[in-house]
Structure 1
Amino acid sequence: MSYTVNCSILLTELPLLERPAAARAAGFENVEFWWPFAESVPSDAEITAFESAITSAGVQLTGLNFNAGNMPNGDRGLVSWPERSQEFRDNLDVVAGIGARLGCKGFNALYGNRTQGSTPEEQDALAVENLVLASKAVAGIGGVVLLEPVSGAELYPIKTAQQAMDVIGKVRAEGAANIGLLADFYHLSVNGDDVPAVISSFGADFGHIQIADAPGRGAPGSGELPLGEWIDSSRSRGYGGFIGLEYKTPADGAFSWLIR
């Protein structure tokens, strides 16, 4: 199984730049990250330090988020946020540059919460514009933009696979074909989506899969979700990409489920 460790939610007992090496020491060859900087355009020194942490650890960066704002404070993306749209656009070349240098192909663009001062229709139109720009920004390096339904964020409007696919359809209609669904089985199940039906209907549109168990967002086997069955079903429908490990478990037991 081609797993990739999300080093923004796992191994958090360590400083961020030490986590790729810790993932490699645990036996993994691939890692992914949320946006690891405070700003859309970090300094050259910050970018170099991040890239060096990846390459010196001997791991492959398989996924990177565009800047999604202050996630601990509740932000969930800049894509549809009018007041911060320029920050998202300023971020595009930075993300594409990191992707080009590290060979990363998957780029998650969190849609953003509903905001006061703009109508949902205005935000949705802006989101399509920005997703088209993001798709074009990474197309030259063979990149794919990912759109993710998210749970636990009341103001985030993309909660189901169908809602995400509706947006993806609009982006593709604008000529940007390199956009796909990020199927996080935890978020989909917690939001009440019928995951087997999602796999059946949209498996061909999966750009990436992430997993955590529910309830609790812990490691596989800690909850009730048939994650193995869902992964196998996705594979049978042609998904050949990585499985992102995006769950919350202390480092000392984070990967013991693999042994079992």
Structure 2
Amino acid sequence: MGFTDTRFNVNLSILFTELPLLERPAAARAAGFTAVELWWPWVDAPVPERSELAALRTALTDAGTRLVGLNFYAGRLPGPDRGALSIPGEESERFRANVPVAVEFGRSLGCTAFNALYGNRVEGVDPAAQDELALENLAFAARTVAEANGTLLIEALNAPESPHCPIVSAPRAVEIVDAVNATTGLANAAFLMDLYHLSMNGEDLPSAIETYAARTGHVQIADNPGRGAPGTGDLDFVDLLGRLKKAGYDGWVGLEYKAGDRPSASAFAWLPHPLRAAH
């Protein structure tokens, strides 16, 4: 395959999960990757012990891996994703408590891209009130991210796997991006274009790339069907990533796919070793 102009990174929350968290950066580096991303690793702790943060920071730096993307706290993923949409009370407070901690951690490693999952609808609560709270929380996150000269990412999930999430299309995600930017006046919110989720939603991927590449702050990929490595499904990533490059996107492409029943290190045969390191 091509990809000579694409900068790839590995998501250590879906790949190398057969290993303890602190061993994953070194495993990714051994597989040839120098850049990684993470979902918030402490699913029950939006504010973990500083010793845990320090241990992960050391694991990343000792391995020679750069952190290029980090999710804010959203509970256990995949699962009952909470994110910014949580109703007022403990869960909303947990999200807001996590934001400065995550930004400080990411900033210490040079990370400037922070993904805030919108979350699922909460039964019995007015959707308009939920959206109002989500916008407040996302604006808070955008202002905090701005202090680190970073980008707040807004991602569309897919309706078949996340039926209670109200953000399941590229246009809807970009509406949220626009609302956050209008609220803060900072223009530091951007679209996270996950080609797997958009494909699962039945969107026209070439059209989505042409329309939204300029609004995109990060890209993630997995093949469809199956959410496996490129080549295990029907998506033509040579074409899609080429279209992204032609449309002007030159940012990171996160490998956010499942290795299946094999060790993660064997799930990269589709990508020649020299193209795995950041270049």
CA 1:100–1:259: 2 relative to 1, 3 Å: closer
Q: TM-score, normalised by structure 2?
A: 0.90
Q: Compare 152-161 and 170-179 and name the one that shifted more.
A: 170-179
- What's the CA shift for 1:22? 0.5
- In structure 1, the partner of 2:209 is 199
Residue matched to 1:121: 128
Say which SS state the counterpart of residue 5 (structure 1) adopts. strand
Q: Distance in 1 between matches of 2:40 and 2:107?
A: 16
Asked if 2 retains the 8 angstrom alpha-carbon contact of 1:132 and 1:176, the reply is no
Q: Which residue of 2 aligns with 1:60?
A: 66
Superposition misfits of 4+ residues, deviation over 3 angstroms: none
- TM-score scaled to structure 1, two decimals? 0.96
- Report the CA distance between 1:252 and its aligned residue: 4.2
1:182-238 CA-partner distances (Å, limit 9, x unpaired): 100001001111111111111100110000001000000111001221111111111
In the alignment, the residues of structure 1 paired with residue 99 and residue 222 of structure 2 have an alpha-carbon distance, to the nearest angstrom, of 28
1:188 corresponding residue in structure 2 = 198
Aligned match of 1:255: 268
Residue number among 167, 170, 174 corresponding to 1:165 in the alignment: 174
Counterpart of 2:228, as a letter, is: G
**Contiguous gaps of at least 5 residues in structure 2:** 1-5, 274-279
Larger relative contact order (C-alpha < 8 A, sep ≥ 6)? 2
Structure 2 CA distance for aligned equivalents of residues 125 and 179 of structure 1: 17
* Alignment pair present for 1:3 and 2:8: yes
In the other structure, the counterpart of 1:13 is 18
Residues 1:98 and 2:105 aligned together? yes
Deviations 1:159-204 (A, max 9, x none): 1000101111111111131111110000100111111111111110
Counterparts of 2:121 and 2:144 in 1: how far apart (Å)?
25
SS in 2 for 1:164: helix
**Separation in structure 1 between the aligned mates of residue 83 and residue 143 of structure 2, nearest angstrom:** 17
The alignment covers a number of residue pairs equal to 259
Please provide the CA RMSD for this pair: 1.2
